[in-house]
Amino acid sequence: MSESPNFLSQLTGCFARPAAENPTVAMIEAAFAHHGLPWRYVNCEVAPEKLGEAVRGARAMGWAGFNCSLPHKVAVIEHLDGLGESAEIMQAVNCVVMRGHQYIGENTDGKGFLQSLQEFVDPVGKTMVLFGAGGAARAIGVETALAGVARITVVNRSEKRGQELAQLLENNTSTAIEFVRWEGDYRLPEETDIVVNATSIGLFPDVDAHLNLHLDSLAAGMVVADVIVNPPMTRLIQDAAARGCTAIDGLGMLVNQGVISIKYWTDADVEAKVMRAKIEEIFGV
Ligand code: NDP
């Protein structure tokens, strides 16, 4: 043997509860294997009261970082050394990165969405309608506003949550923001360029659920994106495609946030298509 063998893996993973149903591990390990990277990603079941210990454990073992999923995205912040720009605005972290001995919290959900959107349209100066005001909507709203979307209309069922997101975007970005309470079927304004479903409508097992939306207001030329990954072919995606819109399913966001996380941890640029193929295999697409 010319070189001494190296049996030490570089470690990353995800802290969540429940952890068993999270398929990100399969997608990320497929990329590590494809590129021959000596890295591992481990799903860890972490109870809320053990989160601090889990982060200290990761530090002790030299983890390059980790994803945080429910219920830790906000609670993890007190255990970190700093936040990236969009995570600071959102006050939510889904990706922790070791930079110069410090754990910095980032949010790659919105960045992953933005990257999948940019494959089809340049968001700068565009008008967007954003359905939802939960964690996914917050990430998408902040990231697209920072990227230069000119106007965002937040449409949400609960007025309180919707107003809070509209206020957050108004206070932290220069995008024009409007809130509309979602009652009955919403009619998309004619000037809409981008439509985003960031609600959980359409998620398995309620796969026939549809957004309260005047379908005739979906016009060819609009870009329509859904965050739902299971199943990726939601009613909205089907309706949008049938009306000649450009339809973007939720897999792009999921895959791209993984690509960005891997870049943060390993500095490697991995192939999104390898990860997408693994996720499609898992969801039987
Ligand atoms: P939250 O629980 O934080 O927010 C849910 C949102 O959906 C709220 O705005 C809620 O409205 C709205 N909503 C739910 N049911 C209805 C309904 N029947 N009618 C109208 N509005 C409804 O969830 P998240 O934001 O964390 O997640 C939303 C979805 O995004 C999930 O399905 C998740 O899987 C997906 N996701 C996908 C990612 C990807 O990579 N593709 C990444 C992250 C999330 P209200 O405020 O009125 O309750």
> pLDDT per residue over 7-54, tens digit each?
899 999 999 999 998 899 999 999 999 999 999 999 999 999 999 999
For residue 101, report the distance from its CA to the centre of ligand 1, in Å: 35
Residue nearest atom 38 of ligand 1, based on CA coordinates: 227
- Enter the tokens of residue 56: 């200290």
Q: Is 248 in the pocket of ligand 1 (CB under 6 A)?
A: no
User: What's the pLDDT at 226?
Assistant: 98
For residue 197, report the distance from its CA to the centre of ligand 1, in Å: 8
Q: Give pairs for 209-213: CB < 8 Å, separation 24+.
A: 209/235, 210/235, 210/236, 210/239, 211/131, 211/186, 211/235, 211/236, 212/182, 212/184, 212/185, 212/186, 213/185, 213/186, 213/188
Which atom of ligand 1 sits closest to the CA of residue 199?
Answer: 7
Q: Is 252 in the pocket of ligand 1 (CB under 6 A)?
A: no
Q: Give pairs for 264-267: CB < 8 Å, separation 24+.
A: 264/65, 264/95, 264/97, 264/106, 264/108, 265/10, 265/12, 265/39, 265/64, 265/65, 265/97, 265/98, 266/10, 266/37, 266/39, 266/64
Residue nearest atom 7 of ligand 1, based on CA coordinates: 199
Confidence of residue 3 (pLDDT cuts 50, 70, 90): confident
Which tens digit of pLDDT belongs to each residue from 214-240?
Answer: 999 999 999 999 999 989 999 999 999
CB 115 within 8 A of CB 147: no
Given 73, 111, 126, 278, which residue is catalytic?
73
Residue nearest atom 4 of ligand 1, based on CA coordinates: 134
pLDDT at 101 over 80: yes
pLDDT at 278 over 90: yes
Q: Is 228 in the pocket of ligand 1 (CB under 6 A)?
A: yes
Q: Is 212 in the pocket of ligand 1 (CB under 6 A)?
A: no
User: What's the pLDDT at 204?
Assistant: 86
Residue nearest atom 22 of ligand 1, based on CA coordinates: 199
User: What's the pLDDT at 5?
Assistant: 82
Q: Is 251 in the pocket of ligand 1 (CB under 6 A)?
A: no
For residue 32, report the distance from its CA to the centre of ligand 1, in Å: 30
pTM comes to: 0.94
For residue 135, report the distance from its CA to the centre of ligand 1, in Å: 7
User: What's the pLDDT at 2?
Assistant: 65
Residue nearest atom 43 of ligand 1, based on CA coordinates: 136
User: What's the pLDDT at 262?
Assistant: 98
Does the annotation count 73 as an active-site position? yes
Higher-confidence residue of 177 and 231: namely 177
Q: Is 254 in the pocket of ligand 1 (CB under 6 A)?
A: yes
